[in-house]
A and B are shown apart, each in its own frame.
Chain A
Amino acid sequence: MAMASPIVSAEPKHDKLRQLGIIALNGMFDEMDAEGVLRQAVDDLLPGDIAMVSSFGADSAVLLHLVSQVDPNLPVYFLETGKHFAETLDYVQTLKSRLGLANVIALHPDSADLKRFDPDGVLWETDPDSCCHIRKTEPLEKVLAGFGGWVTGRKRFQTAERGVLPHFELTSDDRIKVNPLAYFSNEDIEAYKARYDLPDHPLYQEGYKSIGCAPCTSAVADGEDPRAGRWRGLNKQECGIHFDFNGSIAKPVSQSQLTLFKDGEFKADPWRSWAEGDEASSVRYTHVPVSVFIEHREAFLASPHPIGLQVDPGEKVEEVADDLSRFSSVAINFPAFGDGRGYSSARLLRERYGYEGELRAIGDVLTDQIPFMRRCGINAFVVTNIATRKAIEADALAEVRLYYQPVGASREVPVGTRPFLRRNANYT
């Protein structure tokens, strides 16, 4: 994937005058109401050079209403990720006609990117950062350069990170972000919606307080941070399209820190290990040890969240054979290079119990083992060893790609004259 979006240094060097200008603007308009801030930006600061991005989510109506009051022809970009709730798409139409927005533009992900990186449409499950990247960041980057400023709907109350959000921000490339709703509280939003009788997002009343793509959005409980339902269970707050407080684009974890190698590349890992204090009913994207799963089996089976299984050496996969369809990922632990028990576990999962999901090796994963692991059905590797990382990236593993013995775990095809014993790995 093209992870080549702007790399931003930690301390952006801004034009001093612009920086002072922003401080002045924030001082001058600190007390101004939202409509005033927006009008100032659209009419005075950046006439014809500003646009907005809207998710048409739970609280988009307020800002869109403001836009319709100030300039119904302002370009409003909508990221049509292809993963929205049907209710969201309906809501786009509702608001367009209700508010008379004349310039709503849908941004679609690059179809070649989708075909290459997310052919099955499940990237959100295995690698949500990359999913956001191709469905949001990249399409947006194509239009970013065309404007000197952007209107956002971000609010201070939304998450802890946004607590000091000002009205005007300078981005690393000296663009201006305008946050008319920065000081709005939840009550302000509700009051504004009531005053203008703005329609709610159809899912809002069902507990969805912050709405993104369907697969990565869940309802939040009363009193919970409204954005807690986004990428729930993952250490992920932003999709990468917003700018952080310093104005840098918040990027997914840098490529060199990624440790999960799967489908030919290192990618972000949505999974974590089971930890002390975790609750069976609420964890998601967590590899649950066999013993823990067995102990809380009913709760795990009842939970709607994606969970995985961790198989340590000596644990019997037989004991969870009936529940394998419950796991989106199985992690086989190889605590030491020489401990080969995991190879048997992997083959049993694949060949005897028909597990077809992600099967990953974790622990002491080194170059020499990976070819054997692959033949046993393991298709993802968490690699921390630097030499191994290099070897796997260069496809230069210590490997003999000709096999004598059949295993049932991988799609090996016979070569040569001896269909019984021989397989060749070069099929991939």
Chain B
Amino acid sequence: MYRYDEFDAAFVNERVAQFSDQVRRRISGELTEDQFRPLRLMNGLYLQLHAYMLRVAVPYGTLNSRQMRMLAHIARKYDRGYGHFTTRQNIQYNWPKLRDVPAILADLASVEMHAIQTSGNCIRNVTTDQFAGAAADEIIDPRPVAEIIRQWSSLHPEFTFLPRKFKIAITGAPNDRAAVKFHDIGLMAQTNGSGEIGWAVYVGGGLGRTPMIAKLINGFVPHEHLLAYLESILRVYNRYGRRDNKYKARIKILVHEEGLENIKGQVEEEFAHIRGGVLTLPQEELDRINTYFAQPAYKDIGVVDIDIEREKIIDSAYGRFLENNTFPHARQGYTSVTISLKPIGGAPGDATADQMDVVADLAEKYSFDELRVSHEQNLVLPHVALTDLRAVYDALVEAELADANAGEITDMITCPGLDYCALANARSIPIAQDISQRFASPERQKEIGKLKIKISGCINACGHHHVGHIGILGVEKKGTELYQITVGGDGSEDAAVGKILGPGFVAEDVPDAIEKLVDAYIEKRESADETFIAAYRRLGDAPFKEALYGNG
């Protein structure tokens, strides 16, 4: 993975020193909250419902064991012993004290981490496939390009005061696990006619109160021109994106209002000017960054036969883990292991300091010191030898991290909701916990199969409810929390926004409603191989609407 050299270290250290001074001035009263606000936001520090919240960037979701141990250390020393992994592959601490923040940032800097641009109207942390560099279906490892984008976008002088935040996601695989079409810019690796690999560029996707699927603006941009192309899009957005209404300020609204062809024309005109200029990426630079992401020293393990059906009989929990929590690896004899942060009844995405330490140890011992954070709020050991799988599993069981529900109904994305967030209208973690209890039985989850539930506590949609196969949105109506249920959303390459089927439900009735949808699906599906989303696409709204609201 990428390692800082002197320059990167100096860059982050300067930033820590700068922010430490700003915090000191805030504490001494020299700065008012109004003056301090834009400064702290540029360093990922939010003022939440109960306390400050610090959001630490995990660039494209990649960590090593040393970094994970530092995250554990910070949770233990400065917070309440846990951290919350987010849908943007970052980690949030919910209880830091302002006076400790400079020390936290200095600790982070010591392991090559920071909180720069995790908030504010700038280019945010670039996200990618959690299996990047490991997945069998990958055309190219997207992380070197993600790192180059990270560097290009860090404290960019022209794009630090954009109309609104700006999120870029990149995937090197045709099966999109990074929801790139729901980002301001989505990049998908593409092979052109002459066999060269480049990037299909999608623009104007997003969730929030106006969900939009990104549109293809350029089918193939070669590596060397990618930064110039991104800068062209950003410049058009910076100049012409709406600034009169914060809810209409994302690039998706610009693309929607101006029309794709119009925006494309402006971007291409800009690109014609700057193409071939200072942003042209030399092959040597790409090669240099590529070396940081070189394949680990895999051992020649050969074919390892794991008979899952047999394992299921011998140890059903392990069998289920094998079935759900492993992902095909590009290298024979290896697999990527998902560590679920969705224990039944737990807060999705939370990990304790002790768990982080265990995961760090496992990464060091069994995964070439590599770890990933997924946008589905789980952790990943990307390169585990099949021969080590049982040992890894046993260690996870020990640490209470062996939930074998990856991809199943209880593997929900959930925002922090009203329990933590100042923006939320409704609680979301308790809703997730109730659903999780309702479907706790492994047999029941197995019967249901792959089903993504996503829960947001307000219209800002941090829980991605629009792209949940079943989405749940908390709203507040006349002082009561109500939950709207959507069906048919999809964050993958078959991107779709879920539809609201009818009136909302009070919190207590949500698990029943979900159960009705699930039962309707099981009843109508052609076979156990037809997933919920596939069945929905075939059947349409009607049977689900009927399940929820009857035949009225």
Binding site for B on A (CB under 8 A): 313-314, 337-341, 343-345, 347, 352, 368-369, 371-373, 375-376, 387, 398-408, 415-418, 420-422
**Nearest chain A CB to B157 CB, angstrom units:** 4
- By beta carbon, the residue of chain A nearest B161 is A340
Contact across chains for A402 and B273 when beta carbons are under 8 A apart: no
Contact of A343 with B238 at beta-carbon distance under 8 Å, contacts A417-B7, A420-B282 already known: yes
* Complex CA–CA separation, A344 to B236 (angstroms): 9
Determine the chain A residues whose CB is within 8 A of the CB of B157 once the complex forms: 343, 371-373, 375-376, 403, 405, 407
* Complex CA–CA separation, A422 to B162 (angstroms): 23
158-212 of chain B: CB within 8 A of chain A: 158-162
* Complex CA–CA separation, A337 to B14 (angstroms): 23
Contact across chains for A402 and B22 when beta carbons are under 8 A apart: no
Contact across chains for A421 and B152 when beta carbons are under 8 A apart: yes
> CB of B308 within 8 A of chain A?
no
Q: Which of B7, B121, B151 has the most CB of A within 10 A?
A: B7
Contact across chains for A403 and B279 when beta carbons are under 8 A apart: no
* Complex CA–CA separation, A408 to B285 (angstroms): 19
- By beta carbon, the residue of chain B nearest A416 is B7
**Nearest chain B CB to A311 CB, angstrom units:** 11
Contact across chains for B151 and A404 when beta carbons are under 8 A apart: yes
> CB of B10 within 8 A of chain A?
yes
5 A/B residue pairs, CB under 8 Å, sorted by A: A340-B159, A376-B158, A398-B18, A404-B152, A421-B151
Q: Which of B5, B22, B243 has the most CB of A within 10 A?
A: B243
268-287 of chain B: CB within 8 A of chain A: 273, 277-279, 281-282, 285
Binding site for A on B (CB under 8 A): 5-7, 10-11, 14-15, 18, 22, 35, 38-39, 42, 121, 148, 151-162, 227, 235, 238-239, 243, 273, 277-279, 281-282, 285, 288
Contact across chains for B38 and A402 when beta carbons are under 8 A apart: no
Q: Which 7 A-B pairs have the closest CB atoms?
A: A340-B161, A375-B157, A372-B157, A416-B7, A406-B278, A404-B151, A343-B158
Please report whether the interface of chain B is mostly helix, strand, loop or mixed according to DSSP. Answer: helix
Determine the chain B residues whose CB is within 8 A of the CB of A403 once the complex forms: 155, 157
Determine the chain A residues whose CB is within 8 A of the CB of B153 once the complex forms: 405
* Complex CA–CA separation, A387 to B10 (angstroms): 27
Determine the chain B residues whose CB is within 8 A of the CB of A406 once the complex forms: 278-279
**Nearest chain A CB to B30 CB, angstrom units:** 8
Give 4 A-B pairs besides A344-B238, A400-B155, A404-B11 with Cβ atoms closer than 8 angstroms: A341-B243, A343-B158, A371-B157, A405-B152
Determine the chain B residues whose CB is within 8 A of the CB of A344 once the complex forms: 158, 235, 238-239
Contact of A368 with B38 at beta-carbon distance under 8 Å, contacts A400-B15, A401-B14 already known: yes
Determine the chain B residues whose CB is within 8 A of the CB of A313 once the complex forms: 243
- By beta carbon, the residue of chain A nearest B42 is A368
**Nearest chain A CB to B239 CB, angstrom units:** 5
Contact of A418 with B285 at beta-carbon distance under 8 Å, contacts A340-B161, A400-B11, A404-B151 already known: yes
Determine the chain B residues whose CB is within 8 A of the CB of A402 once the complex forms: 7, 10-11, 14
Determine the chain A residues whose CB is within 8 A of the CB of B288 once the complex forms: 418
- By beta carbon, the residue of chain B nearest A410 is B157
Contact across chains for B155 and A404 when beta carbons are under 8 A apart: yes
Determine the chain B residues whose CB is within 8 A of the CB of A375 once the complex forms: 157
- By beta carbon, the residue of chain A nearest B15 is A400
Contact across chains for A417 and B158 when beta carbons are under 8 A apart: no
Please report whether the interface of chain A is mostly helix, strand, loop or mixed according to DSSP. Answer: loop
* Complex CA–CA separation, A407 to B285 (angstroms): 17
* Complex CA–CA separation, A284 to B213 (angstroms): 52
* Complex CA–CA separation, A157 to B331 (angstroms): 96
Contact across chains for B158 and A404 when beta carbons are under 8 A apart: no
Determine the chain A residues whose CB is within 8 A of the CB of B278 once the complex forms: 406-408
- By beta carbon, the residue of chain A nearest B116 is A400
Contact of A398 with B22 at beta-carbon distance under 8 Å, contacts A369-B161, A416-B7 already known: yes
Determine the chain B residues whose CB is within 8 A of the CB of A405 once the complex forms: 151-154, 156-157, 227, 279
- By beta carbon, the residue of chain B nearest A337 is B38
Contact across chains for A398 and B39 when beta carbons are under 8 A apart: yes
Determine the chain A residues whose CB is within 8 A of the CB of B42 once the complex forms: 368
Q: Which of B152, B155, B161, B238 has the most CB of A within 10 A?
A: B161
Contact across chains for B161 and A338 when beta carbons are under 8 A apart: yes
Determine the chain B residues whose CB is within 8 A of the CB of A376 once the complex forms: 157-158
- By beta carbon, the residue of chain B nearest A347 is B158
- By beta carbon, the residue of chain B nearest A424 is B7
* Complex CA–CA separation, A369 to B121 (angstroms): 14
**Nearest chain B CB to A281 CB, angstrom units:** 32
* Complex CA–CA separation, A10 to B22 (angstroms): 40
* Complex CA–CA separation, A135 to B552 (angstroms): 92
Determine the chain B residues whose CB is within 8 A of the CB of A337 once the complex forms: 38, 161
Q: Which of A340, A398, A415 contacts B238 (CB 8 A)?
A: A340
Contact across chains for B277 and A408 when beta carbons are under 8 A apart: yes
* Complex CA–CA separation, A200 to B161 (angstroms): 60
- By beta carbon, the residue of chain A nearest B152 is A405
Contact across chains for A340 and B285 when beta carbons are under 8 A apart: no
**Nearest chain B CB to A317 CB, angstrom units:** 10
Contact across chains for B7 and A422 when beta carbons are under 8 A apart: yes
**Nearest chain B CB to A353 CB, angstrom units:** 11
Contact across chains for B7 and A399 when beta carbons are under 8 A apart: no
* Complex CA–CA separation, A422 to B161 (angstroms): 21
Q: Which of B22, B160, B277, B285 contacts A421 (CB 8 A)?
A: B285
Determine the chain B residues whose CB is within 8 A of the CB of A352 once the complex forms: 273
* Complex CA–CA separation, A369 to B238 (angstroms): 16
**Nearest chain B CB to A314 CB, angstrom units:** 8
* Complex CA–CA separation, A406 to B160 (angstroms): 15
Q: Which of A338, A399, A400 contacts B121 (CB 8 A)?
A: A338
Determine the chain A residues whose CB is within 8 A of the CB of B154 once the complex forms: 404-405
Q: Which of A344, A369, A387, A398 has the most CB of B within 10 A?
A: A344
**Nearest chain B CB to A344 CB, angstrom units:** 5
Determine the chain A residues whose CB is within 8 A of the CB of B148 once the complex forms: 421
Q: Which of B7, B279, B282, B285 contacts A415 (CB 8 A)?
A: B7
* Complex CA–CA separation, A399 to B15 (angstroms): 8
Contact across chains for B281 and A420 when beta carbons are under 8 A apart: yes
Determine the chain B residues whose CB is within 8 A of the CB of A401 once the complex forms: 14
* Complex CA–CA separation, A398 to B43 (angstroms): 13
**Nearest chain A CB to B10 CB, angstrom units:** 6
* Complex CA–CA separation, A117 to B48 (angstroms): 51
Determine the chain B residues whose CB is within 8 A of the CB of A345 once the complex forms: 239
**Nearest chain A CB to B355 CB, angstrom units:** 34
**Nearest chain B CB to A69 CB, angstrom units:** 67
Determine the chain B residues whose CB is within 8 A of the CB of A408 once the complex forms: 277-278
**Nearest chain A CB to B368 CB, angstrom units:** 25
Contact across chains for A372 and B160 when beta carbons are under 8 A apart: yes
* Complex CA–CA separation, A345 to B279 (angstroms): 18
* Complex CA–CA separation, A387 to B121 (angstroms): 23
**Nearest chain A CB to B277 CB, angstrom units:** 7
**Nearest chain B CB to A339 CB, angstrom units:** 6
Contact across chains for A416 and B6 when beta carbons are under 8 A apart: yes
Determine the chain B residues whose CB is within 8 A of the CB of A371 once the complex forms: 157
* Complex CA–CA separation, A376 to B152 (angstroms): 15
**Nearest chain A CB to B250 CB, angstrom units:** 15
* Complex CA–CA separation, A339 to B249 (angstroms): 12
* Complex CA–CA separation, A347 to B162 (angstroms): 15
- By beta carbon, the residue of chain B nearest A402 is B11
Q: Which of A376, A415, A417, A418 has the most CB of B within 10 A?
A: A418
Contact across chains for A420 and B285 when beta carbons are under 8 A apart: yes
* Complex CA–CA separation, A340 to B120 (angstroms): 13
* Complex CA–CA separation, A372 to B161 (angstroms): 10
